[in-house]
Copies of this chain bind each other. A is one copy, B any other.
């Protein structure tokens, strides 16, 4: 009859190491912790009011995600992100997101297509109102739906990983995109191809989408 509070608590339970991990990960992703910055265990532990143990766990995990680099007996530092790093990321993204779009064209169910249509329309509405925050949300949702439609969880994880790395770069170097109109058109073309189960065109359009990002970055690199 009454809600089982124990169960709820159990569900919500997260080891401290996990909490610290997410905290630090977010701080790095948002650019709050800058490349090269040192991560000292006691400092972080004191800040968060925990002991060194969970902090160490968190740092180890971040290292595996290559968000920090560790030098034995010296310490951990927020990983650098060079221009070359980001070009590597975009090179892979182009290939994998193109691939994902092609798979999506083959595997997306009708229900998923309907839901996707809603997202596209939502993006358009947000664009009409110039609601930037809402556009970003819809944009993320749009791509997530493509990835999910591949039904390949590993592929999804890899792509998200690459997105995170790019996201960090973006927040560090140039804080915003403004080419929403272009994004809208690109989404339209990608979705159209997927809806028509045209894998080749979906792939091409998705590749173009990433390429336009790459061009932006290249232009930025050239300064």
Query: B89–A154 contact, CB under 8 A?
Result: yes
Q: How far is the CA of A18 from the CA of B198 in the complex (A)?
A: 47
Which A47-96 residues have C-beta < 8 A from chain B?
56-57, 60-61, 64-65, 72-73, 85, 88-89, 91-92, 95-96
Main secondary structure, interface of A, reads: helix
Tell yes or no: A155 within 8 A of B by CB: yes
A151-173, CB under 8 A of B: which get 1 and which 0? 01111001000100000000000
The residue from B13, B15, B92, B158 contacting A152, defined by CB atoms under 8 A apart:
B92
Bound form: Cα–Cα A65–B66 in Å = 12
Q: Which residues of B contact A73 (CB under 8 A)?
A: 13
Which residue of chain B is the closest to A99 with respect to CB atoms?
Answer: B95
Cα distance, A154 to B64, chains bound together (Å): 13
Set of chain B residues within 8 Å of A155, measured between Cβ atoms = 88, 91-92
**Cross-chain contact A152 with B17 (CB below 8 angstroms):** no
| Complex interface: chain B residues within 8 A of A85 (CB) | 154
Q: Give a binary string over A189-207; 1 marks a CB under 8 Å from any B CB, 0 the rest.
A: 0000000000000000000
Please tell me if A129 contacts chain B, counting CB pairs below 8 Å. no
A154 touches B92 (CB 8 A): yes
Question: Does the CB pair B88–A154 fall under 8 Å?
Answer: yes
Is A14 in contact with chain B by the CB < 8 A criterion?
A: yes
Q: What residues of chain B lie closer than 8 Å to A13, measured between beta carbons?
A: 72-73
Residue of B nearest to A165 (CB): B154
Alpha-carbon distance A65/B65, docked complex (angstroms): 9
Q: A13-B72, A64-B61, A64-B65 are contacts. A95–B92 as well, Cβ < 8 Å?
A: no
Instruction: Name which residue of chain B comes closest to A17, CB basis.
Output: B60
Q: Which residues from chain A sit less than 8 Å from chain B, CB to CB?
A: 13-15, 17, 56-57, 60-61, 64-65, 72-73, 85, 88-89, 91-92, 95-96, 99, 152-155, 158, 162
